[in-house]
Amino acid sequence: MRLDKYLKVSRLIKRRTMAKEVADQGRVKVNGQKAKAGTEVKLGDELDVLFGQKHVSLRIDRIEEKAKKEDAATFYTILKEERINND
């Protein structure tokens, strides 16, 4: 599945256009490599995502074309979450 679609379906990012922008800005890594929106992701891949003041590392546990809101959290396991201070 494309990275931008995965970010949207898993509800890590609410809109696919926003997911594409975040990926194309270099704020997402897949298995340690900077990734573009079209990068293919698969089960077991590790993502590092930079959301403004927060850095989140997670592992992909599930991939499906569609998901209900209540199932979205089962698509990944958060490995590390930390705030970034720009002082």
Task: Give 42-85 pLDDT, tens digit per residue.
Answer: 999 999 999 888 999 999 999 999 888 888 889 999 999 999 87
> What are the tokens at 27?
């704020």
Predicted confidence band of residue 18 (pLDDT cuts 50, 70, 90): very high
Model pTM greater than 0.85?
yes
Residue 38 clears pLDDT 60, i.e. is over it: yes
Residues 6+ apart with CB under 8 A from 57: 46, 47, 48, 78, 79, 80, 81
pLDDT in the model for residue 73: 85
Q: How far apart (Å, rounded) are the C-alpha atoms in residues 66 and 15?
A: 14
Between residues 4 and 69, the one the model is more confident about: 4
Spell out where the chain has E strands: 28-30, 33-34, 46-51, 54-60, 76-83
**Given this model, what pLDDT does residue 87 score?**
56
Q: Are 35 and 23 in contact (CB under 8 A)?
A: yes
Is the pLDDT confidence value at 86 over 70? no
